[in-house]
Amino acid sequence: MHRNISIIGAGSMGTAVSILLANNGHNVRMWSPFAGEVDMINTFREQKDKLPGVRVPENVVCTADFGETIDFSDILVLVIPSQTVRENAARISSHIKDKKVVVCFSKGLEKGTGFRMSEIISQEIPSVKVVAMSGPCHAEELSKGIPTAYVAAAEDRKSAELIQDCFMSPKFRVYTNPDIVGVELGGAIKNVIALCAGISDGLGFGDNTKAALMTRGIAEMSRLGSAMGAQVRTFSGLAGIGDLIVTCTSMHSRNRRAGILIGQGKSVEEALEEVKMVVEGVFTTEPVYKLAAKLDVKMPITTEAYKILFEGKGAREAVVDLMGRDKTHELEEN
């Protein structure tokens, strides 16, 4: 069934998602607050700044009219930086008239509260059903129709299956999962570990180091997830190890790229300036670190990332401290 679908955000992933949905036969209204971006996409059928060379189908209309975008459909897709989700959800709540399904591609935890994205949306717009989308996916590849698999997670099974039906294509496979806590935590924490993987690369370390970081990163993710009520097996799926692999190993990953620059000696501010896009791992490290402390969960990699980003600790010193921790059993560590 072809539907009208609204997308909040016209960056690289927002545009890639709009292309996917349009190619599935849906009519898409994509919102951007930037007049130049709106004109660029509508006139040239291309997101020249972030996805050059990829054509945006005619059944995608970009607009700066927020209310029109909300009214256009009963499915809203948020593809925006995680730290802007609350303000955008609050704005949506003032426009929304009927019950809708809100699909969130944003991956992170809210600074100051540690709330997951679905929690924020439910707080600001209590009438909607929330579906979290996560998994291993770069916009640069999705927009070109490169085969990709993703997860639609929701407490409400019908909502997850609705979104599965809308997004599924011969090039984009969607699985449903009721564990929205685990899916969202996986999508958030993998950015922290990917930042560390980039720092490792920037320091000149090798595949051995990265494999260790990724594996122990999954252990940290699982420990925190278990303490927060997630299903541990979710972290061995697409939203856990799958997303971690792609984000730690690809140069499409802005988290890895920022980490490389930090490992090479640049400041956090200099790294962010050079990447020129939102690096979610930088913003997510603090709330993950604070949640771990609150719940008494050991997350040594996250702890060292926090010290590098916010306490000025040297990256090489952090590696020495990680390697010099007290010996322990791999499967019994808390």
Sequential DSSP letters for 260-308: HHHHTT--HHHHHHHH-S--HHHHHHHHHHHHHHHHT---HHHHHHHHH
Phi-psi region of 9 (alpha: psi -120 to 50; beta: other; left: phi over 0): left
Would you give per-residue pLDDT tens digits along the chain (334 residues)? 899 999 999 999 999 999 999 999 999 999 999 999 999 999 999 999 999 999 999 999 999 999 999 999 999 999 999 999 999 999 999 999 888 999 999 999 999 999 999 999 999 999 999 999 999 999 999 999 999 999 999 999 999 999 999 999 999 999 999 999 999 999 999 999 999 999 999 999 999 999 999 999 999 999 999 999 999 999 999 999 999 999 999 989 999 999 999 999 999 999 999 998 889 999 999 999 999 999 999 999 999 999 999 999 999 999 999 999 888 888 865 5
Q: Position 251: which residue type? A: M
Q: Does domain 181-323 bear CATH number 1.10.1040.10?
A: yes
Give the strands of the sheet with 101-104, arranged side by side.
Answer: 60-63, 27-31, 4-8, 75-78, 101-104, 129-134, 148-153, 172-177
DSSP 327: P
pTM: 0.95
The confidence score (pLDDT) of residue 38 equals 97
User: Which CATH number is 4-178 given?
Assistant: 3.40.50.720
Q: Please give the backbone phi and psi of residue 308, each rounded to the nearest 5 degrees, phi first.
A: -65, -45
Catalytic position from the list 50, 100, 107, 190? 190
How long a stretch of residues is the chain? Answer: 334
Distance (Å) of CA 82 to CA 266, 277, 325: 24, 13, 33
Q: Please give the backbone phi and psi of residue 49, each rounded to the nearest 5 degrees, phi first.
A: -75, -35
Q: Exposed (0-12), middle (13-18) or buried (19+): which is 190, by Cβ within 10 Å?
A: buried
Question: What's the rounded Cα separation, in Å, for the pair 174 and 150?
Answer: 5
The confidence score (pLDDT) of residue 326 equals 86
Helices marked H in the chain: 12-23, 35-44, 66-71, 85-95, 117-124, 139-142, 157-167, 180-202, 207-227, 243-249, 254-263, 268-275, 280-295, 300-310, 315-323
What is residue 258's three-state secondary structure? helix
The confidence score (pLDDT) of residue 332 equals 62
Distance (Å) of CA 138 to CA 134, 153, 229, 243: 11, 19, 28, 10
DSSP 169: B
Residue ranges of domains in the chain: 4-178, 181-323
Closest CA relative to residue 216, chosen from 134, 300, 308:
300
Q: Is 266 a catalytic residue?
A: no
The confidence score (pLDDT) of residue 325 equals 87
What is residue 135's three-state secondary structure? coil
